[in-house]
Every structure is written in C-alpha cells, then in structure tokens.
Structure 1
Amino acid sequence: MEGHQAQGQAGHSDRTTQERFSAKGFIMAAIGSAVGLGNMWKFPYITGKYGGAAFFALFLICLLVIGLPILLAELTIGRGGRGNPSASMRRLSGQRKWGVLGGLAILCPFIILSYYSVVAGWTVHYSIKAFAGTLFSGVGYGQQFEELMSSWVPAFWQLAVMAICALVVGRGVAAGIEKFNKLLIPAMLVLLIMMMIRAITLPGAMSGVQYFLRPDFSMLTPTSVLAALGHAFFSLSLGMGTILTYGAYVDRRQSLSQAALAVTGGDVLYALLAGLIIFPTCFAFGIEVSQGPGLIFAALPVAFEAMPLGTLFGGLFFLLLSIAAITSAVSLLEVPVAFVMERWGWSRSKASAIVATACFMVGLPSALSVGGAVQGLSLAGKSFFDWMDFISSNIMLPVGGLIVALFAGYAWKQAADEAGLAGRAAWLWLALLRYVAPVLVMLIFLHSMGWI
C-alpha cells in the first residue's frame, strides 16, 4: 500500500507541477465557484422571511461555525493530497475506503452540472433577449418562460454553456480557469454595484432596503436557525468537491486560513449586494419577493420594462447572472476532469471535451423536462430536473460535507499542520470539525429532506 501510495503521489506531483493558481487567482476562482444563482434569489428571500438583518447576523454566525471550518478542511485536504477528492483522501489516509467515500465528491458535481448548466443557459438566453430588446415585447413574461421551456432552445443554450466550460477548463488551471475568473469576478462586482445603485435610487426603493436590513429578532425561530445553517453550508459550495479540487492547485506558501476568510468574505459581499438589488427593485414595483426562481425569469422583467433604460439594466442583470452561473459551472466541471486525467492519464483538453459531452447528454433530459419534449418523464410528482436537484442538493452535498469534516477531524492526523494552525486555533478548528460540524450537517440534511 505504502509503495503504491508513494508511486501515485509522485505521478500526481509530476502532473500538477505546472498546474498552480497564483494567490490572487485562487481567491478569484474560489469566489467564482462559491457565488452562484441561488445567492441572487434565495438569499434575499430567506433573509426577508426570517427577520431581515437579524437573520443576516445569524447567517454570519453560522458561516463562522460551520462554513469556514469545512471550507478550510476542503482546502487543506486538496493541497495536502494534491489530487481529486478521491485520490487526495486515499493518499492522505493510506486507506482505500476513504478514496471510495471521496468519490462521492466527484459524482456529485457531475450531477449538479448536468442540470445547473440548463439554468445557466436560461440566463444567457434572457441576457441576449434583454439587450436585443425582444424580452420586453409586450408578451407576458410567464408566457415567454413557458414558451422557452416547451422548446428545444434550452438544450441549445445548455450545450453552449458546456462548450464554454470545456474551453476554459481545457486550457488549464492558470491559463484557463484563473484567467477566466480574474476577468469575470471583477466584472461581476462592477455589475453588482451598478445594479445596486440603480435599484436603491428607484422611487420607493428605501422601503425594500429597510425590509432587508432592519433586524426583527421576533422572527428568529428554530426554523430560521436551520435555514441559516443550510444557506451558510450551500452558499460556499461545500460538500461538492470544487473547493477541495481547487485546493490541489494552491501554492504551499499561501495561507489557507486567509484564503478561506477571503472566499467567505466575497460570498457574503455578493449576498449583501444581491439583497440590495432584489429587495429595492421588488418594493419599487410592487413585486412579491417570495417567488424563488420565478422571481428572476417572470417577475423582475416587469420591473426592468417599467424603469428608465430598462433594456440596458435588464441585460446587465441577466449578464450578471450568466457570469455567476458560468464561473460556478467551470469549477463543477474541473472536479470530474481532474479525476479522469489522473485515473486514465488523459490530456486536459481530451478530458474536458469528453466529460463535458457526457455531462450534456446526462443533462439533456433536465433541459427538456421542464415543459419540454420529455416533461412527462416524472416519478413521484418530480420531473427529471427536480430529481437531479433533489438527489444532489438534499442528499449528496450534506453527506459530502460530513465526509470532509470527519476525514479532517479524525482520519488525517496532520490536517492542522497542513492548514497552518497551531495551539488554540488548531484545537478550536478540530473541535468544530469533530463535534460541532457533524451534528449541524446532519441537521441540515434532515431539514433539507423535510424531516424536521
């Protein structure tokens, strides 16, 4: 076992010698992975529902208690093992069973990407229609969305998104993923600020700002605590292997704890700015904010049509969503690509093309099941799209997060050393991973399943 382990470690080291993020490039890529579509519609909604700024403060506490420890654990395992989730856990523990458990973090992002690329395609479609002015054609936006879902157009845009991801990942870590995120993450921040300024200067917008930021501690309940826990976990893309895989490309000289704080801070900033876009806009135009994804594609276009320069700001809004979606999709693709490169020795370009094609084929039923050609393909009242989302988000992600916490907390004895922690900081981190995080992740799992 030890000889095989050393051989595998050496082989992988040769492959990744030229695959490294710069310090800034890693932060950008990790933020791109963490920030996604859910932050734009889900975070403002649950924040308003569960107490505004009071819930936001609770969310920050949950980030510190569960988000940061597991995020740091994923980074540490990735850099320590210098491989995909399965290979890293096997090498660091010397036990094959951990490699098998780590394999879940390879399958999970593949499944997520199969349907996430579909939603990303919707945002690209809407961005182009908004800039072209055809989105605001007088046809009801609910009807437009239904017409889109009933056609083959979602499959076309899903294919386009997968092609972009394959091209970026195929170029490598530094030349592809890093450069892509270094360009798009600052652009996304600029768009967020532009959209926020437009939103808070709308007539009646301050009511939305107050609703979002005014604390109402009377609304905090055990359910709101579970919601804050779940969002702290999911908003950082934990349990899906993306941060762990990116960690394999982090330089030894980079502080992992500082990197984890920077990524968490970027995620919080995005969520805050998203709230300052969604709430003021909804309040200014009398839109119900609790519509979930329908808010984005059916309700908000009404606001853009009514506001001055609505075609421009509508286009910028959907462009913002497209960037958030595609940067996350790139990180999802990198996980299975890294695995097949190690497992079968494929070149990066070959692995990217084949994995992206396979992911598109698996996701095609998702693209066509939301009102499309295979909408009748359902089981227990859920479409194919819904089942892919349910299995990955409600089951695989919490289980993946639990595996990471237990591995870094118990199985790998050098975890604190690799993380650069000593003394009380190491004791606190390991205590959170061993005793607190597993309990909280199980609560997240039970809540996401609707059992509590």
Structure 2
Amino acid sequence: MGILAVITSFIGLSYYAVLGGWVIRYIFVSVTGLPKSSEAFFTSFTGNTGSQIIYYLVFMVITVAIVVMGIQKGIEKSCKIMMPLLIVCLIVIVIRSCTLPGAGEGIKFFLKPDFSKLTPGAFLSALGQVFFSLSLGTGATITYGAYLGKNQNIPKSAVSIAFFDTMVAMIAGFAILPAVFAFGFSPTSGPSLMFQTLPAVFDEMTGGKIFGVVFFVLVLFAAVSTSIAFLEVVVSFAVNTFKVGRAKASVISAVLITCLGIPCALSFGIWSDIKIAGKTFFDLGDYLVSNVSLPIGGILACIFIGWVWKSKNAEKEVTNEGKISFKLVSVWSVLIKFVLPVVIFIIFVTSNPWIMDLFQ
C-alpha cells in the first residue's frame, strides 16, 4: 500500500504540474490584460512547446523550494488566510456567472439529474475524483498525519474536510458551468474549462483585470498546496528509505517527476497525436491515478486498517485512547472491514473492461 501511494503521488504530480503551469501563465496574462478570445488564447498557449515547458518548470521549482524549506508552518498559516479569500472570489464569480445572459441553461445542466449517465464508469470517475480531491490513496494523509498532535480531533476534521471540499466543488460548478453555456463553450472540455470560461467572465466584470490577477494567484496557492503534498510523499519515502538529506531527496525526486511530466505538458501541442491505449500522456497519467491506483490504494487501506492493523487499534489511535469522542466508530469499523472494500472493488472491476477481459 505504501509503495503504491508513492507511485501514485509520483505520477500524480507529473501531470498535475501541467495545470499549475497554466495557472502561472494566466497570472501573467491577467496582469497584461485578459484575452478577448479566451478559447483561442488557450489553444495557442497549450500548443506552444516552449511556453508549456517553461511554465511547467516554474511550477515545479516553486513546489521543490517549499518542500526543501519545510511546509508545516508556512502552508498551515497561509491556508487560513488564502483559502477563505479564494472562496470569497469564487462567490463573486458565481454571482456574475449566474447573471450572464443564457446562464440558466448552465444551471439546469449542472443541477438537473440525467439518470441515464449513471453507468459504472461514471461511478468510478466520481470515486476517482473524490479520492484525488481528498488525497486518499496518495499517501498524503499518512505523511501529513505524522504532523498531527495527539489531541487533534480526527473524526471532526474528517467530516469538516469532506464537507468543505464538497461545498467548494459546488461553488466552482456554479462559477463555471453557467458561463460555459452563456459563452457557448463545451461543458465536456475538462480541466481547460476554468481557463477558457473564467477569463471571459472577468471581461464582463467591473475591475475584472484586477480580480483576475487576485483569483489566479489564489488558485496558484491552492494548486501548490496540492503539489507539495504529492512531492512530500515521495521525498519522505526517499529520506526514510535511502537515508539521504531532505534537499537532495527533493531535488532528485523533482527531476525524475519532471522527466515523466514533460510528455504530459506536450500532450496538448506537438505530442497530442501520440497516444497509448487511445490516451494522450496527460490523459493516461490521469487515468492511471484516478481510475486505477487510487481505488486500489483505497481497497488496500481498508484491508490493512480493518484486518491487519485491526480496527480496534485504529479506534484507539483515532480517539487518542478514548479521550476523543467517535460515536459512529462501530459503523465505521463495519464499513472499513466489509462494505467499502467490496463496493470499491465492484465499481473498479465493472468500470474497466480490460479487467473483465482478463477473466475471459
């Protein structure tokens, strides 16, 4: 489970840094003036080999610098200020996005359920997104867990994290999808939606240039908080396994991850036609992490906690020997041991035809 978590974080950062590079590019373009045709600018930018590599490297350097210097105090203190500011920015964008002409169709698309889409593949995609968003199966929760004090209320934190993660995702949906329909973009464009729709929204706002700069700076901080979690997992493994210094482990890990990630950065340009199993390097990395390694990591974690470490020992750790209340511990124990491994496995198998083919 530990080795898989390290591999997951390694691959995850390799393609996630591509998005981080995009955010940095949009900070600069927001300062100089948002493009009139955001879709054309995005296509031109992502197709430019030099720009893709440069901004990818800049994002990786920022990530490495933070991990080398230490992350606990700086990130924790900064999050208390910058994350609430990001939510405030998102709410302002929601108000403007939802009042655009034609935004109603986007709201309807977002909220009206289409039960024909509830396929096993959709459940796996949702499962992968939940795992990715909460850093489950990447080793980040284990690594960061080492920083927690004994008096930390883990059940309360877990509920709060899941709640606010979902809330921010809903806010982001209201910020982006109404604008997607208002400006005629495709709602199936994936990660690029934010970079195509929001500049168009800022262009329709008073003081949109300033607001765009602030927003993308805050998004960069959010992106870096995720990237350092990925890198910290790999670095911690290297430091403890190979007994090397933190700085050396950080630099070497980052170089290796970058070598794997450059093809992902070029997947939107000169290497867009190169595909493995019908997927570009970027899409393949995302698929391997979200649809394969994270669900498998989740199953292994359930098995380890429930059957190897034993849920009673986990309960003692979570409650600090009974000092912290965990009223649903009996339900949690049953879920960990019996329900979740089976549910995740069923979703995983039924959503991946190649697994079914192995048994035929």
Distance apart, 1:408 and its partner CA: 0.6
Aligned mates of 2:102, 2:231 — CA distance in 1: 42
Match of 1:402 in 2: 299
Q: CA deviation digits over 1:289-343, x for unaligned, max 9?
A: 3322342334554444455444344444444432332211111111011112212
Counterparts of 1:447 and 1:192, CA distance in 2: 36
Instruction: Give 3-state SS (helix, strand or coil) of 1:379's partner.
Output: coil
Taking the aligned partners of 1:211 and 1:369, their CA distance within structure 2 comes to 29
AA aligned opposite 1:426: V
Alignment partner, residue 126 of structure 1? 26
For 1:357, the aligned partner's letter is V
Equivalent position SS for 2:134: coil
Q: How many residues align?
A: 348
Distance in 2 separating the partners of 1:423 and 1:125: 45
Give the direction of change, closer, same or farther, for the CA distance of 1:244–1:157 in structure 2 (3 Å limit).
same
Aligned partner of 2:333 in structure 1 is 430
2:15 pairs, out of 112, 115, 120, with 115
Q: For residue 315 of structure 2, what is the amino acid of its counterpart?
A: A
Q: Distance in 2 between matches of 1:365 and 1:286?
A: 30
Q: Residue 402 of structure 1 contacts residue 438 of structure 1 at CA under 8 Å; is this kept in 2?
A: yes
Contact preservation (8 Å) 2:125, 2:290: no
| Contact 1:195 1:317 (8 Å CA) reproduced | no
Counterpart in the other structure of 2:317: 418
Are 2:124 and 2:348, in contact at CA under 8 Å, matched by a contact in 1? no
Q: Flag structure 1 segments of 5+ consecutive residues without an equivalent.
A: 1-100
1:159-186: CA deviation from partner (whole Å, max 9, x where unpaired): 1111111121222243343234334323
What is the CA-CA distance between 1:425 and the residue it aligns to? 2.5
Aligned 8 A contact 1:141 1:302 in 2: no
3-state DSSP of counterpart to 1:382: coil
* C-alpha displacement of 1:236: 1.7
Instruction: Tell me by how many angstroms 1:347 deviates.
Output: 3.2
2:47 is aligned with 1:153: no
Q: Which residue of 2 aligns with 1:289?
A: 187
Measure how far apart 1:344 and its partner are: 3.0
Mapped to 1, the partners of 2:181 and 2:272 lie a distance apart of 34
Amino acid at match of 2:134: L
Q: Secondary structure at the match of 1:369?
A: helix
| Identity percentage of aligned residues | 37
CA distance in 1, matches of 2:50, 2:199: 22
- Return the match for 1:341 from 239, 250, 265: 239
- CA 125–339 in structure 1, closer or farther in 2 if over 3 Å, else same: same
What do the CA deviations read for 1:141-200 (whole angstroms, capped 9, x no partner)? 236424432322111111111111112122224334323433432332232223223323
Q: Hey, what's the Cα distance between the residues in 2 that align with 1:227 and 1:111?
A: 18
Residue 356 of structure 1 is matched in structure 2 by: 254
Report the AA paired with residue 279 of structure 1: L
TM-score when normalising by structure 1: 0.68
1:106 corresponds in structure 2 to: 6
* AA aligned opposite 2:337: R
Residues 221 and 122 of structure 1, relative CA distance in 2, 3 Å threshold? closer
Q: TM-score, normalised by structure 2?
A: 0.84
Matching of residue 380 in structure 1 with residue 277 in structure 2: yes
Out of 101-110 and 352-361, give the one that drifted further: 352-361
CA contact (8 A) 1:113 1:359 kept: yes
8 Å contact from structure 1 (residues 172, 348) kept in 2: no
Q: Deviations over 1:201-255 (max 9, x none)?
A: 4445455445544x54866845565555444334322111111211111111111
- Residue equivalent to 1:196: 94
User: Which is further off, 101-110 or 343-352?
Assistant: 343-352
Is there any run of 5+ residues in structure 2 with no aligned partner, and where? Answer: none
Q: Which amino acid aligns with 2:303?
A: L
Q: How far apart, in 2, do the equivalents of 1:362 and 1:279 lie?
A: 32
For 1:226 and 1:391, the matched residues in 2 are separated by 12
CA distance in 1 between counterparts of 2:326 and 2:247 reads 44
Measured after TM superposition, the shift of residue 123 of structure 1 is 1.8
Go from structure 1 to structure 2 and tell me whether the alpha carbon gap of 1:314 and 1:288 turns closer, same or farther (over 3 Å shift).
farther
Q: Do the aligned partners of 2:53 and 2:265 also contact (CA within 8 Å) in 1?
A: yes
Distance in 2, matches of 1:435 and 1:131, equals 53
